[in-house]
Structures are given as structure tokens and as C-alpha cells.
Structure 1
Amino acid sequence: MSIVKIENVRVLDPVRMIDAVQSVYLENGRLITVTDNVSENNPAENRISEVVDGQGKWLMPTMLDLCARMREPGQQQHGTLKSEGRAARENGILHVFTPPDSKPIVQDNGALIHGLVEKARLDGGIHLQIIGAQTQGLNGKQPANMAGLKKGGCTAVSNAYAPFEDDDVIIRTLEYAAGLDMMVMFYAEEHQIARDGCVHEGFIASRQGLPMIPALAETVAIAKYLLMIEATGVRAHFGLLSCGASVELIKIARDKGLPVTADVAMHQLHLTEELLDGFNSLAHVRPPLRSEKDKQLLRRGVQEGVIDAICTHHEPLSGSAKLAPFEETLPGITAFDSYIPFGIQLVNEGLLQPLQWVEKVTAAPARVAGMLDRWQREAGWVLVDPALQWTLSNENIFSQGKNTPLIDQVVTGKAIRTFTV
């Protein structure tokens, strides 16, 4: 087998806790040798097919994303497994978890899940992980066939943003999941409080007359779910935190020893409600962009380890989806292409060290998902230029969706090559 040699690259490996400039050998996407002093007697030297200059570059494992909507099946006008799989792979993401709220909903049928996973592998070149539906058709009334979902390959279930009929349904589904040792993923939102809101409750929303989603919609839901988690013992993950107060609730639960983890979307660590000024529909996302104070508290949660992982919350949309009056536009930001630049920004601003950032997007989400060993077997490596400045434009965004408030902005940091297994 031929080998790619990368010379003088900064290796960032959170599993082996390596952060050093070294020369490495990759064979079919696998790192086979890391050495400071390469000699001609090294057997790998005899099979080198390509030598890459890694000066000033970083080499990190391919990333695992805990939340991205791929839009297939049913919404191919926004994206496909082929287009979004390519976008993920080109940006160094090989493992993607997708919520169960596709249209139509097929994630309540274990028999159909294997076909989606295989299609993502063949069409998009990624490892797709399906989050199963917590209730039948996400109707919030009857538990889904979780045993069948587990047999079909699901390791977690969620009701996404679909409401439950009553709290008894939630408790029964948590007990069911606990009995199968399946994780439940919550995207916490109390619907009676959120109602038809679309933006953060604050001055900008009030001035523009937009319906609001108060922070209480998230924190009340989290508090309720935590009590249920304590009663049932189910493993639970809170995805897409958006409020500073939510971080405190998760910290309290962790201190009590509850089996709880959490993630935050990368854009929540950088963008705020200020972007909504002028009815900017490209900043319409759910949960909404919140206040500067919330952003800073979320950042602290990441820094202190209360928030385990950072996800993309990738949601590609066609151009027409953002053209209606603000509250009628579809929420979502295309996020694969900005994931690394935003991560590099966290490093450049001193919030995280490079190895800490890499850990938050690779090994940490793999641990959350209970698939660290599998991720290590399937992950490749991605070569990153942390100093490369480029313009995020319609022409160079790999995703089919171009719906980002960063459009036509200069960003720093880019994946320049992905080595897959």
C-alpha cells in the first residue's frame, strides 16, 4: 500500500494527547507512524507515494458532528445526502448525527434506517448516524418501537422539536429508552412558552415587532426533563444549548451525578441577536441567536467543560426559503463550511488551546455518543491551514445551501485535505 508522508506538521491528537510538530505517515487514511527523527531505515520510507509539506499546518482527526440536517429524504430542494455528505467530508467531518424530523419522518422505522445509512456512505462518503424518533411519527402520543430502532442501528432517540401530548408520554419513553440502554437527546423547548416565536426575547425583537422565544422556553424545559432523568435513570444529552442559564442547570445536574451531557452549536459561540437587525433572515435559526451575555456564558460553559461538545447544527436551505417576511422564513444556517473557521477563531481569541478545540469536535462528541472506539476505527485525518484567509462565498461553499449570515465575509482557517479510511 502507498503512503503519504506529511513533514513538519503540528499533530493534534486528543486521544493520545499529542500536540507536537512532527513528521507523520498516513496509509489509507490511517496514521501509522509519528516520529520526530525520520531516518531512511524507517520501513514506511520505502512505500511513500507522496510527500506533503505540513509547515504551519495542523493535522487532526476527522470530526464527529452531533447535529446536522442533511435534508434527505423528502427535502432534496435544500440538500441531499450526496451534496451535504461531500460538504461534510471536504470540511473534515466524517461522522454525522442527524435528528429524526425529516419530511416524511422515517426514523421511527428501524427497517428503513439501514438504507439511509448505506446511501449516505455510498452517495456522500460519510458515516451517518440516525437519531431515532422518540414517539411514533414524532406525534408525541405513543412511544416509537425503540427496540426495533436499536436493532436497526440507532443508539439514541429524540422527539426533536415536536411537542409531547403530555408529560406522562415523556416519562414512559424515558423508561423505555433506559431499559434498552439508549440515550435520549433533548432539544429543550417548552412549547407553551415558545408558542409561535422565532427570535430571542429582547430589544431588537421588540423594536422589529417579531414574535419571541424567551430563554425561559429552554430553561423550564431543561429543568423539567432533569427531574424526569433523575427519576428514570436514562442517559440524556441536551443538544443546541442557547442560554447562559441552561449551562448552570446542566452543571447542577452533573454535580448531582446525573448521566447528562450537553453540546452547543458553533454559531451560538460567535453570533448574537444583533444580527437580526434589519430583519436579516439569514440569522433566523432555532433555537434563536441570543444575547451577548448568553454567548459569553455559553463560551464559559465550553471552557469549563460543562458543555461537552460543539456541533455544527448544519441546516442547508434553498435561496427561496429565506425570501419571505422574517417570521415566515425557514430557520437554519448552513454550517459545515464555517465550522473550522469558527473553531480557529475560538483558538485565536484564547478561549481554547488548539488541542482543546480539536477534542471538543472529535473525541468528546464520540464519547457522548458512546462510540469512541468505533470513531477511532473509522476516523481519518484532516489537514488544516489555521492561517489561511478566504472568502465564504456562494462559489466556494460546498453545501447546496448558501444560507449563512457570514456570506461574502473573509474568514480564517480551512480544511485543505481530508484523508479517509
Structure 2
Amino acid sequence: MQKIPGFGPAPRSAENGSSYIEGLADPQGSWADEGLRLSHGADKLARNKSLMKTDILEKAFRNHGGPWNAAESAEIANIEKAMEARIRRTQCANYQQVQSPIRFGFVNNGSFNAFATLCENTDIIGMNLGLLINLNNLFLAMMSHPEILPKVGNPGVEQPKLYDPTKAARGIYAAAAETPLLSPNDPVRKDYAQKLSWIGRSFILEHEFCHLFNGHVDWLQNHTKSALFDEIGASLIPGLSSLDRQTFEMDADCYGATHTTLAIFRNGGPSKVLENPHMSSPEDALYAVHFALYSVFRIFHNKPINEISKLLGDRNHPPAILRHFITAAAISSRVDDNETMKSQFTLEQCSEIGGRAVRGVEAAFLFLQGRKWDPKIAFNAERFPDGLQKACSTAANELRANWKKLREQLQRFMRGEKLAE
């Protein structure tokens, strides 16, 4: 297994002083019982401990590489346990029917992928170890480059080095032999990188949870006989149209983006949750969220903006810029209807911050590959005669129209009270 830099301290919750998602210390009591010990909604979970045994993950992950061996890294094992505990808390608070405790685990696979599935009447989320390591290494490499986010920390102590995120995304194990392992010299920049990694994997966890919570996986099983919603392999499922696939991804993206953002702003605010001087203000924290999310989108859809020829019709995820357009609108809607955020931003500020983050990530990907950043080239939208903004708006409206159809079909599969309009 590739040697990786440490993941650093996790963001902390202001309520209890313990790590919000990925604490490095085991809390009191068993991790397996973490979701069951909560008072709110705990009675909704079935308490059949036999369903929690490891062989469920072995069965569910068999065709993906099998469960990752927790003995290889205590730090990653603690992250795995805490992510499962966190998503069980979410399950306790939101599931409307009796359900066995949700399972989460890392998969022994080096590619950048995650999935949601059903196994033995249990909701399961799998995340490839390659995804976890790739996110961590990508942001550490970014913050090791003095031209990337130069206002964070002291970039003067960094030396520009090359890093190919596309090669690592295809397989972190194979790439490890030829891809340099980078880590910032400045401690503030290193911490910033680790917090970006946390935001990215938090979003992916919430995204996968939505595939289960909103009934996407059950719908898939009902319509195609496959109970596996794979972020990469779903494009190969017969009977799943590209429009339906991308509509489900839109729903999961919006859920993941808004819940990740609200977790930061509700739990004592960015200064207490993220604990980085360059993420402590609401504006800086929102920039970090957009930067982390767009980086995730760019890895999944490995094309810069100027190489995109179409926004819909692909059987995989929508392009990164369309995913940003949609999630930015979802986050902005929270500013409009959520008191926690409404007092801190205007809609215009949200739009400006999101656009700035997109430019920052596109520049970062070029810098890491030893290329120059030229916004005139990077945002060339010749393939979209009416402009990229208009094209994204048209594509998003097409997905929303299809969502109305799917929303009706999901009513009997959803785990919660209602779906997004």
C-alpha cells in the first residue's frame, strides 16, 4: 500500500468538543452502537446485531476488491469508523421506517470511486481507498505549489513540483511508484489541504447517502435488477438512461453540497468547525467548500472547461462545470431560506465566491501539470454559442424537468418524509 501523509486533525464540533466527522480517538462506547445510542429516532433502527457482522461488507464489496484491511493503518481505520458513526447518526435522525444500521467501509481498490448498494436488507456505502488517498494527496500537492491559493499561509516556503491528478485517479496504487508524494512545508497550508480533503470526502459520503435515502438504489433495483449505484460503473447498467443517471446525480449532488455546507455553518460556525485562519470567516469557508467540491467534480470528469463539447447525454456524471452550476444554486438557495446562512451572505456574494473557486481549481490543475493559467483559454466556450452560463441553465432545467418524473416514481422507495421539489 502507498505510504501517505497524515490526514491531520478532523474538524471539531462546537457542541461537544469532539471531532465532527472523523475523530482520531474512539468515543465512549462501541462504534458499532454509536448510531443506536442516540435518543432521537433511535427506535427506528432494527437492533439485530447479526446484520452488523463484517461478512456483509465482504459480500457487498466482493466484486470491487473486498473490504480494506483496517490493520494497515490505525489512522484510516479511525476515519472509517467515525464516518460510519456519523452516517448512522444521520440515519437515526431521518429514516422514517425501521431499518438495520447502515454500513460504511473502505474498499481495497485504488481507483477514484464510491458506491451505494443494498445487501441482506442493509443499506451500504463503499468508498474506495484510492478515493480517500487521492483526495488527500491532491490537496497536499496543490498546497505544496506556491502559485496555488497564494494568500493562504506562507507560500514562500513552498517549491513548485509536478503532480498528475488524472493518473492518480485512475489508480493510486499504480501511480504511487511514479507520482511524487508531496506535502506543504507551511503548517497552515498543510492544515488547509487536510481540511479541503475532509470537506471533499464529507460531500461524497453525503452524496452516497442520498442515493440510499432518496430511494435511488431501490429505484435502480426495481427498474434494472441492479442494486448497485456506482459512481463509475453505473454508466454500464442496461436500462438506466443517461438522462435518468444524470438526474439522480443532480439530486445527490444537491443533497451532499447543502448538508456538507450546513454542517460547517451550523456547528458553531467555520471558525470552530474548520479551525484554520483562512477558513474562519463565512466567505473563506464557503470558498473552501466550493474549491473542494469542484476539485472532486474535476477528478470524476477529467476535462477542463475549454475541452467540454456537451453538458448532457454522457452516460457518466455531468461535466464539472454543470455540477458546480447546480450545487452552487442549491447552496445559494440555503442562503435564501436558512437563518444560519442568510445573515452572512447575499446571493450575489455566493455567486462570486463560487465562480472564484472554479477559477482557482482550474488554475490549480494546470499549475500541477506545469502549464500556464490563461483564463481566456481556460474558459473558452466556443462550443456553446449562447455562452456557457446559458448552456448550463438550459441543461439544469432539462434535468429538473426529468426530476419531476423521477420524483413521482421515487415516492415508494424514499427513506425520508419528502423529496426535493
| TM-score under structure 2 length normalisation | 0.29
| Bigger RCO of structures 1 and 2 (CA < 8 A, at least 6 apart) | 1
Question: Comparing both structures, which one devotes a greater share of its residues to helix?
Answer: 2
Q: Which has the larger radius of gyration?
A: 1
| TM-score under structure 1 length normalisation | 0.29
